[in-house]
Amino acid sequence: MAEQNIQFKKLVAHCKEYGFIYQSSEIYDGLGAVYDYGPYGVELKNNLKDYWWRAMVQMHENIVGIDAAIFMHPKTWKASGHVDAFNDPLIDNKDSKKRYRADVLVEDYIDKVEGKINKEITKARKRFGDSFDEAQFRSTNPRVLANQEKMDTIAKRLATAMSEEDMEGLKNLIVELEIACPESGSRNWTDVRQFNLMFSTQLGNIAGEEGKLYLRPETAQGIFVNFLNVQKTTRQKLPFGIAQIGKAFRNEIVARQFIFRMREFEQMEMQFFIQPGTEMEWYNYWKETRLKWHKALGHPGEKLRFHDHDNLAHYANAAVDIQFNFPFGFKELEGIHSRTDFDLNSHQELSGKKLQYFDPQTNESYVPYVLETSIGCDRMFLATMSHALVEEEVTGAGGKTSTRDVLKLHPAIAPVKVAVLPLKRNEEGLVSKAKEIFNQLRFSFNCQYDDTGSIGKLYRRQDAIGTPYCVTVDFESLEDNTVTIRERDSLKQERVPIEKVESIVREKVDMKQLFI
């Protein structure tokens, strides 16, 4: 855990030092759980959004995109259930005056018990070596069994309390488990109460409740209310999907873990409209399809896992998370939800407008079911950065070893695709040749020209921002129009004619690489 903490701190520091992420309004000591993306951060985030959009919209004939407004008619949130049910249970510690999510306190407790199990397994693996059978150990070791039972019992009680909105039951669980305030160690808790997570603001010309507007807590509702507009104008037949990328806002009580839980964040959501009764088929399809999308980026299978929801949201009849092993453990990265006809039905009821699909095959009209995939861009950013940032030892010319921080991002999503560097900054001939190459390449990619340091320092800087290729212009370049291309991960350098640089880089950074 201590090692994980160090890694996480290093990642946060790296994000700031190299212009990926800054605390919002930092000169005023920052605003909790709100962040700004810097020059490299915005490029990486845009590339991740582009990868998602292409995979969902461009690669699926039956998925189209929209960009709905953040503000929606207030009745939207009544129909969706967010006014009444989009709550988190909060609890205050009377001594430290700190506020927590009651369910998160219990989940953290469960994580600690799981930590004990993992410790036993690590110890046993060391002891038994290659012959270690984890499944057998889990099913026979008395300490593991006891802790597993404890975890399961607590998780079940938590799920029941959450789904029944039993705030007293939740408080009892915290008291029984003797959970202490992480800040002060005190067990002096208030009662648990519900807290609505929506931010609200006021429409200019209408005072009071009537003019109350909400900042959308999910982008999905902009899709639901446009379902018929899109279906009719694009003549889509079921099954078909609508995708959207946009900001969402939640007044999160627990703001921690950097950009994992933010108050203003971005979602990439897709609602797939289907025939009722086919939802489990599509649920399984989207589970597998989305997992493949993550793996294609280079995220290994062992860092990703499915986690079925114990506690279903008010709109879902099945739900699973794709969890990622962040530096602070496995946590939700993406949700796949079978939302039934809950949303369309509710909007139909409250608006009095029909939201039905006429099925030409069965000659029937019905409200479609919906299968949703929903991923936070910011969480995807964090997952990608945390996997990519590596500290490694490298051997330079002359056999000297040193360490470098390198962001091993897939070339297709790297903020800068190629950097053009003159070997010596004070040599007019090298500088002008390098600028000439840079001015050509910039038509094709996001590139950088840099002559602000020694070549070793320039390479390290490009490694730290994840640039997959560095082109170095040296004296030989002036004679024979060749340059060296240095590959970020293998550190291999190859001499190539200048006119070939564009096509070499293009092939490697093409987003097509992620789809084939």
Residues that bind ligand GAP (CB under 6 A): 218, 220, 250, 252, 261-262, 265, 267, 269, 332-335, 372, 374-376, 378-379
- Minimum Å gap between C-beta 137 and ligand GAP is 32
The sign of the CA dihedral 196, 202, 203, 208 is positive
Distance from C-alpha of 212 to C-alpha of 363, rounded to nearest angstrom: 42
- Minimum Å gap between C-beta 374 and ligand GAP is 4
Whether the Cβ atoms of residue 382 and residue 325 lie closer than 8 Å to each other: no
Give the nearer residue to ligand GAP in terms of CB position, either 32 or 182.
32
- Minimum Å gap between C-beta 256 and ligand GAP is 11
- Minimum Å gap between C-beta 255 and ligand GAP is 8
- Minimum Å gap between C-beta 364 and ligand GAP is 28
Give the nearer residue to ligand GAP in terms of CB position, either 266 or 463.
266
Distance from C-alpha of 228 to C-alpha of 61, rounded to nearest angstrom: 18
Give the nearer residue to ligand GAP in terms of CB position, either 335 or 415.
335
**Torsion over CA of 130, 135, 141 and 143, rounded to 10 degrees?**
110
- Minimum Å gap between C-beta 432 and ligand GAP is 46
Number of helices (H), then strands (E), belonging to the chain: the values are 17, 23
Is omega for the bond preceding 368 within 30 degrees of 0, making it cis? no
Give the CB-side neighbour count of residue 405, counting CA atoms within 13 A.
14
Give the nearer residue to ligand GAP in terms of CB position, either 213 or 333.
333
- Minimum Å gap between C-beta 472 and ligand GAP is 40
Give the nearer residue to ligand GAP in terms of CB position, either 189 or 283.
283
Rg (CA), the chain: 26
Give the nearer residue to ligand GAP in terms of CB position, either 220 or 225.
220
Give the nearer residue to ligand GAP in terms of CB position, either 218 or 450.
218
Length of the chain equals: 516
**By C-alpha distance, which of 260, 265, 262, 266 is closest to 252?**
262
Give the nearer residue to ligand GAP in terms of CB position, either 297 or 375.
375
Whether the Cβ atoms of residue 495 and residue 480 lie closer than 8 Å to each other: no
Contacts of 149 (CB under 8 A, 6+ apart): none
Give the nearer residue to ligand GAP in terms of CB position, either 102 or 333.
333
- Minimum Å gap between C-beta 237 and ligand GAP is 24
Helix (H) or strand (E) holding 494: strand 493-497
- Minimum Å gap between C-beta 219 and ligand GAP is 7
Edge-first strand order for the sheet with 240-249 is: 63-65, 240-249, 264-274, 369-376, 329-340, 318-326, 304-308
State the burial class of residue 397 (Cβ atoms within 10 Å of its Cβ: 0-12, 13-18, 19+). Answer: exposed
- Minimum Å gap between C-beta 45 and ligand GAP is 13
Give the nearer residue to ligand GAP in terms of CB position, either 379 or 486.
379
- Minimum Å gap between C-beta 409 and ligand GAP is 19
**How far out from the chain centre does Cα 89 lie?**
24
What three-state secondary structure class fits 33?
coil
- Measured from each CB, the residue nearest to ligand GAP is 376
The 8-class DSSP code of residue 316 comes to -
**By C-alpha distance, which of 184, 174, 193, 192 is closest to 95?**
184
Give the nearer residue to ligand GAP in terms of CB position, either 144 or 413.
413
Q: Which residue has the tokens 């219990």?
A: 106
**By C-alpha distance, which of 461, 478, 44 is closest to 470?**
461
